[in-house]
Amino acid sequence: MIRRPLPQRALLAMILALLVLSLVAANLGAMRLSIAVLWQAQDEALRHIWLNIRLPRVLLATLVGGALALSGCVMQGLFRNPLADPGLLGISSGAALAVGFSVVLPIALPAVLALYVPMLAAFVGSLAVTLVIFFLSRQGNNSLSRLLLVGIAINALCGAAVGVLSWISNDAQLRQLSLWGMGSLGQAQWSTLLATASFILPASLAIAFLSRRLNLLQLGDEEAHYLGVDVKKTQWQLLILSALLVAAAVAVSGVIGFVGLVVPHLVRMWLGADHRWLIPGSVLAGAMLLLVADTLARTLVAPAEMPVGLLTSLLGGPWFLAMIFRTRRETDG
Amino acid sequence: MKRWLIALLAMPVIAAANERVVVIGGDVTEIAFALGSGDQLVARDSTSLHPEAATKLPDVGYLRQLNAEGILAMRPTLVLASAQAKPSLALEQVASSNVKVVTIPASNSLDAIDEKIDAVAQAMGKTAQGDALRKQVHSKLASIPEKPLPVKVLFIMSHGGMTAMAAGQETAADAAIHAAGLQNAMQGFKRYQPMSQEGVIASQPQLVLVTADGVKTLGGEDNVWKLPGLAQTPAGKSRQLLVVDDMALLGFGLQTPDAILALRKKAEQLP
């Protein structure tokens, strides 16, 4: 028996750690600017910068990081597969493709809705891919290699389609596409933050509410059914909710890879596989990871900035390889 | 009392001289230096590599990938941004932090040079120097023969390991070729497209333009003729190649009149 920390205590520690990290992140940046400007108040411009540029960025990083990790956590539980991740399975690229469509072939909409267009498009894209993967993986054996092959195919397909889009797009659209495709939180401002939060927060709460049922699903469809879970309905709800999370994250920040894969793993190693703790733990850890990555992206090459998606992929890629090697050793041995 | 009054009157002048300026766009930077405002510049973007002094300024990133905080960190009072600068959100955020943001027009035409100088000079309060600079540019432009010359020119863009691309319509290269009174060999497509062997042969270019960077990535001028189809063209048979500085020819800045004149001269000397 591995000694695990008390989950409540672990979560409390994580909340505190996230708060501390947020404070630190809010004090760092290209500008020498600390939270103290809020009350020292000799410079209105500095306060404006802190409140309207730095703060939304920090909040958006925690929000998107939490959403990505949570969607990864739900997917891994739903597919009963530790390698399920919105990026690897092609769900993020499905969302990216749909947003690409909305950039290149814009539909005229009233201004209030316009803010939500990328998000709705991303939702349609991510849900479509999720459904395809779900049905393909349910036919026959739910093997790991099959799932990943489907993901590879979908990623390649969406990549090609985005290529076609960038080929037909005009100069301005092309730049918008490539800028956004690298994964960056540079679009952070209060209006996008609120729009994103209005998707992510309710979806996260709903998933937390379903966490016990997600636990029972781990036993197998049949067993879960005998334990009183409406299996089909629960799976559908979870699918839609996680697609919604990916959609909101992708729409605002582009494709940020590997957060959804790495974070639930780490948390599972630490807190165990009970989704009641795994879900909030993943949200908090994901928020911390992306916050750290984004703060690095903002400060490493200051006053310029690097795309945070590149950083997470650089960190996540080796981790993923290590995990594949470990899985093989276990199955071979 | 008298001294106070003088100080008060001198205030606006001092304020203008103390302007801290961030320049975004290679052409904008070049003009700002040419107007003698180099000492007021505090930062530039990564495309501002000319003149030499510009490279010593801190770099706030690529002009299409700006971030508000990076620019604000230089504590500017004025940002001169090329119209190509993106994303607009970053510039909006800078503007809403009480920094004056002036957009400098950036269309691909010789007239744009005039507009750019005017816009920068106005923003920096150097209209006299601006007028002088414009006169200088005008006299250079006047020396470019206006008479059309039926020479077909192919512009090749080649960057590190990627396929070489030919410039079609609606590109800066197309505009530069036309400004020299020449013809773009590539007709019937927009923007830069990958070169096809047959398309290149069919376009029958008499002169090939390659950027200095392009020659470097291809590994020497001889390798230019190894690109698909190029050896079979009139230009390839007589090896008519002009290596150009892309910022000078395509930037539509201060060096552009000279670059276009050089192109015209080369075309006139073709056998």
Which tokens belong to A271?
A: 């807190």
**Band of the pLDDT at B54, cuts 50, 70, 90?**
very high
Q: Provide the 3-class DSSP secondary structure of residue B254.
A: coil
Residue A73 CA to residue A93 CA, distance in Å, equals 18
Cα distances from A159 to residues A90, A98, A102, A260, B8, in angstroms, run 10, 11, 16, 20, 63
pLDDT digit string (tens) for A69-102? 999 999 898 888 777 888 888 888 898 888 888 8
Give per-residue burial for B192-216: e unless 16+ CB within 10 Å, then b.
beebeeebbbebebbbbbbbebbbe
- Nearest Cα neighbor of B178 from B209, B152, B203 is B152
- Could you give the ipTM of this predicted complex? 0.70
A49 touches chain B (CB under 8 A): yes
Q: Note whether A305 contacts B191, CB cutoff 8 Å.
A: no
Residues of B within 8 A of A186 (CB-CB) are: 65, 67, 87, 89-90
Question: What percentage of chain A exceeds 70 in pLDDT?
Answer: 89
Chain A nearest C-alpha distance from B60 (Å): 4
Q: Provide the 3-class DSSP secondary structure of residue B102.
A: strand
Which tokens belong to A297?
A: 């992206």
Cβ-proximal residues to A40 (8 Å cutoff; 6+ apart), any chain: none
| Pairs of residues, one from chain A and one from chain B, whose beta carbons lie less than 8 Å apart | 75
Q: Would residue B61 be called left, alpha or beta, if left means φ above 0 and alpha means ψ between -120 and 50 degrees?
A: left
What is chain A's length?
333
- Spell out the alpha helix ranges (H) of B23-87: 26-34, 68-72
Compare all CA atoms of chain A with the CA of B71 and give the residue at the minimum distance: A303
Tokens 């379903």 sit on residue? A210
Mean pLDDT for the stretch of residues B98-127: 92
- Nearest Cα neighbor of A260 from A125, A145, A151 is A151
pLDDT digit string (tens) for A172-215? 677 777 767 777 888 788 888 998 999 999 999 999 999 999 99
pLDDT digit string (tens) for B129-144? 999 999 999 999 999 9
Residue-level pLDDT at A164: 87
With a cut of 70, say whether residue B62 has pLDDT above it.
yes
Residue B259 CA to residue B4 CA, distance in Å, equals 52
With a cut of 60, say whether residue A232 has pLDDT above it.
yes
* Nearest beta carbon to residue B73 from set A48, A186, A302: A302
The pTM assigned to this predicted structure is: 0.80
Q: Note whether A303 contacts B64, CB cutoff 8 Å.
A: no
pLDDT digit string (tens) for B232-250? 899 999 999 999 988 888 8
CA pseudo-torsion sign A268, A270, A272, A277: negative
Residues of B within 8 A of A45 (CB-CB) are: 97-98
* Nearest beta carbon to residue B97 from set A29, A32, A49: A49
**Band of the pLDDT at A103, cuts 50, 70, 90?**
confident
Residue-level pLDDT at B13: 45
Residue A212 CA to residue A274 CA, distance in Å, equals 8
Helix (H) or strand (E) holding A297: helix A275-299
Cα A133 to its chain centre, rounded Å, is 18
Mean pLDDT for the stretch of residues A65-72: 95
Residue B167 CA to residue A114 CA, distance in Å, equals 35
